[in-house]
Structure 1
Amino acid sequence: MRATRRTTTIATTGNAGRMRWLAPLLAAPLLLSSCGGGSPSGEQDGTSAQDGGTAETSTQTTAVRVADTAGMPSAFLQYGVNEGYFEAEGLDVTVDVSIGGAAAVPAVVNGETQFAGSNTVSAILAASKGLPITIVAAGTRTVADPAEDFARIVASTSSGIEEVSDLEGATIAVNTLENINDVVIMTLMEDAGADRHQVRFAEMGFSDMLPAVANGQVDGALLIEPFVTMALDEGAVEVASPYAESREDMMVGTYMTSEDYAAENPDVVEAFQRGIDATGQAIAEDPDAFREALPEVTTIEPGLAGEIHLPVWNATVDVETLQFLNERMVRYGLLDEEIAVDEIVTPAAE
C-alpha cells in the first residue's frame, strides 16, 4: 500500500515546491508548545538556582525563547536548562517544541523566538532564499559507529525492504519535506547504485510514523530516538543509519538566530553558545545522568531511556558538513546553486 498523505517526489521539487516552504513566513505566528518557564524577552534580576542544578548561577538573567525539534534535540536543551548551564551564563531559557526543520525558521525571522534548532539543510535553504538567519552553534551529530547512531531508516516487514537499494518505488515517512532526510536518503541510494528519483516522501510527525509503518500506510520511515528503539522493539526492519552512513561525523542539527538579533545582542549569542557547549560536555562526561533525566524532560519511560542510542553534541559548527550538504542539495534539486556556507555562521565565543 502506497501513502497518499502529503507526498512528494524529488523529481517534482522545483520553484513551486520551494515557494510552499516560505508560506509560514506570511502566515500567523507559530503556536509552539512550551516546555519551560520564563518570558520571551527582557531581563530579570535576582534569579534562584534550579532544583538539581549543578552549574553556578549569575545574579541577572536575560530571558530567551528557543524552539527545538521534539525528541532528543529538545530533550538536550531542556536538560541543559534544568541543570543550570544556561542560567550560569546569564540566560533564562524557555524551550518550545517544534516539528523541526523549516517550521522553526519563521519564528526566528519574525522575532517570536530568539534561537531555534533546525536540521542543517533547512538552515541552508533559509539562507539561500535570502532569509536573514545565522548559525550560532551545532546541534546533534552522528556517532562514529553507524550501528550506534541515533537515527535509522526502518521498514515494515510486509514492504519487502531490507536494504537501501530496495527503496526504489517505496514511500518513506520524514518529519518535514525538503530537509536533511531527503538528502541523506538519496545519498545512500546513489551510493548503493539505486535510482534516487524513484523514492517518494510522506511528511508526518515522528510519533505518527510508527503506526503508519505498522499498518502499511507507508513502506518505511526515517526515525530518530526514542522512536528508533520503539520501532525495532515492535519488529520493524532496520535498513540503514542514514546520517552516519552518508558522512562521518555529520552535523545533523544547528542552532540559528536572526542576523539582526545576533548583531544587536552579541553577548547573549555568546552566552547561548557557551550554554550549548557546557551541556554537550556534561552529557559526554556522564551520559547516564542524561539518561536518568530523560523521563523528566520527555515522556520517555525509564526503561526505554536506558536502551536508546544517544547523539553526540559538540557546539562547534562544522563548515565541512555544511559544504557537503550544500553540494548535495544542488545535485538533488533543492538548491539552484551553492551558497557561501561560511558566511552564514557566527563564530563561536572564545
Structure 2
Amino acid sequence: MLRSVATRRIARLRLPIALLTASLLASLSGCGLLGGDDAGSTGTQNTGGAVEKSKIRVGVLPVVDVAPFYYALEQGYFAKEGLEVEPVVVASGKASIDGATGGDIDIAFASYPAPLLAQSTKTVDFKIVADALTAKQGHIVVVALPDSPLKKATDAPGKKIAITQRNTMTDLAPMSILKTEGVDYSQVQFVPMSFPDMIPAMQNHTVDGAVVVEPWVTTAMKKVGAVPVFDGASGPTAEMPMSGYVAVSKFTNANPKTIAAFQRALTKAQSEATDRSKIEPMFVKYAKVDQETAKLVTVATYSTSLEANRIQRVANLMQEFDVIKGKLDVSAMILSPATNK
C-alpha cells in the first residue's frame, strides 16, 4: 500500500497541489525575519499588561514544525503582543535544550524526547509552553532505494538504517512499530547522521535505509526514487505529538506575561496554518526548496491546544524503551494559557 502511495505522489509532481511545507534550513538568518515593533510601541495588542521581557530569543530547528512560528514573525503577531522575537537556528533538539538550560535561549523548540529526557534526569525543570506538531502518515517514514534489501518491516533486523540521533523520534517510532509487528528491533543497526547525508548514504550503500521526516520524505522519493518501507506515524505511533516549545521554570516563573504573549501569538499563527494560502509563502520564501517538490510534501497537524495526555504518550514511549527510567508525569510540565495569567 505504501508503494502505491509513493507512486501516486511522484505522478502528481506536475499538478498544482496546494500542499506545501519545507525544512527551515540551518542557514536561515533570523535577523531578516524580524519586522515587529518594540514592546510598548503604538499598535500593541498585548491585553495582559506590559511583558516582563520584551526581547526574547527562541531556539528553532531546521524542520517543518516551526513554519507557523516564522509566519507569526512575518505577520507581526509577536510584535502586536509587545514582543521582539529573535529566532536562533540550532542544529539539534539537544542544542536548543542546552541553550535554554544555559540561558542563551529563552524559549526552545525541540522534538519532545529531548526536553522530556532532560526533565526525567531532574537536572533542569522544564515547562512546556506550546505544542507544535502532531505527525500523520507520510510525515516520518522509513525509506529505502528500490534495490535495497530493506523492503518491508520484517527485513529490518541486521540492516543499517540512518537516523538523526539515538533516543529521538527517528528511532523510537520505528522501534515501536517493529515491536508491535513482532520484529526484533534490537538487531537493527541505527546509524546517526544528518538528514542531508541520508540520501547519499543510501546511494553509496553505507546504509540500507533511512528514517526521514518531511520534506526529506518527498525529496528522497523525487531525487533518488526512494520508496517507503513502513510509516513511522502509524499503529502505536499514529498521530503522535512530535515537538513543542519549552522554557526553564526559572524563566517562566519570572516572565508569566511574556510567556502568555508568546502563546497567544503562536496559537494565532498555528490556527491559521490550516489555510495553505497563508502559510505557503513562508515555506517558499525561507525554505529554499523547489516548488515542485514542496507541493507534494505531506503536511502534518499544527497544534492549537496544549494537552498533557497527548504528550504523555511520548514519555510513555520513552519509558517503554528505557530512555526514561520510571514514569514521568508530563502534566506537571504543562504551562497552559489558562493557568498562565
Q: Give the one of 163, 178, 183 matched to 2:172.
A: 183
What residue in structure 1 maps to residue 230 of structure 2? 240
Where structure 1 has 5 or more consecutive residues not aligned to the other structure, the ranges are 1-31, 49-55
| Percent identity for Structure 1 against Structure 2 | 25
Compute the displacement of 1:68 (Å). 1.5
What residue in structure 2 maps to residue 201 of structure 1? 190
Mapping of residues 183-332 of structure 1, within 5 Å: 183-233=172-222, 234-284=224-274, 286-332=275-321
Instruction: Give me the whole-angstrom Cα distance separating, in 1, the residues matched to 2:163 and 2:331.
Output: 28
* Equivalent residues of 1:77, 1:95 under 8 A apart: no
TM-score normalised to structure 1 length:
0.80
> Which deviations, in whole Å up to 9, do the C-alpha atoms of 1:305-341 show, x marking residues without a partner?
2221112111322322332222222221212211122
Instruction: Specify whether residues 315 and 110 from structure 1 end up closer, same or farther in structure 2 by C-alpha distance, changes over 3 A only.
Output: farther
Compute the displacement of 1:236 (Å). 0.7
* Equivalent residues of 2:134, 2:242 under 8 A apart: yes
Aligned residues: 305
Query: Which deviates the most, 287-296 or 263-272?
Result: 287-296
* Equivalent residues of 1:163, 1:240 under 8 A apart: yes
What residue in structure 1 maps to residue 21 of structure 2? none
What residue in structure 1 maps to residue 156 of structure 2? 167
> Which deviations, in whole Å up to 9, do the C-alpha atoms of 1:203-238 show, x marking residues without a partner?
211111121122211111111111111101121121
Instruction: Give me the whole-angstrom Cα distance separating, in 2, the residues matched to 1:261 and 1:38.
Output: 26
What residue in structure 2 maps to residue 92 of structure 1? 84
Instruction: Specify whether residues 39 and 224 from structure 1 end up closer, same or farther in structure 2 by C-alpha distance, changes over 3 A only.
Output: closer
TM-score normalised to structure 2 length:
0.82
What residue in structure 2 maps to residue 120 of structure 1? 112
* Equivalent residues of 2:72, 2:269 under 8 A apart: yes
Compute the displacement of 1:57 (Å). 4.9
Aligned AA (1:282): E
What residue in structure 2 maps to residue 138 of structure 1? 131
Instruction: Give me the whole-angstrom Cα distance separating, in 2, the residues matched to 1:247 and 1:337.
Output: 20
What residue in structure 1 maps to residue 31 of structure 2? 37
Instruction: Specify whether residues 185 and 264 from structure 1 end up closer, same or farther in structure 2 by C-alpha distance, changes over 3 A only.
Output: same
Instruction: Give me the whole-angstrom Cα distance separating, in 1, the residues matched to 2:29 and 2:228.
Output: 32
Instruction: Specify whether residues 177 and 163 from structure 1 end up closer, same or farther in structure 2 by C-alpha distance, changes over 3 A only.
Output: same
What residue in structure 2 maps to residue 110 of structure 1? 102
Where structure 2 has 5 or more consecutive residues not aligned to the other structure, the ranges are 1-25
* Equivalent residues of 2:78, 2:261 under 8 A apart: yes
* Equivalent residues of 2:83, 2:261 under 8 A apart: yes
Q: Over aligned residues, Cα RMSD in angstroms?
A: 2.5
Compute the displacement of 1:247 (Å). 2.9
Instruction: Give me the whole-angstrom Cα distance separating, in 2, the residues matched to 1:91 and 1:244.
Output: 38
* Equivalent residues of 1:270, 1:349 under 8 A apart: no
Specify the SS of the correspondent of 2:211. strand
Aligned AA (1:92): E
Specify the SS of the correspondent of 1:243. coil
Compute the displacement of 1:76 (Å). 3.2
> Which deviations, in whole Å up to 9, do the C-alpha atoms of 1:181-216 show, x marking residues without a partner?
221111000111100111122221111112112221
Specify the SS of the correspondent of 2:31. coil
Specify the SS of the correspondent of 1:137. strand
Aligned AA (1:134): K
Compute the displacement of 1:47 (Å). 5.5
Give the number of the structure with larger relative contact order, counting CA–CA contacts within 8 Å between residues 6 or more apart.
Answer: 2
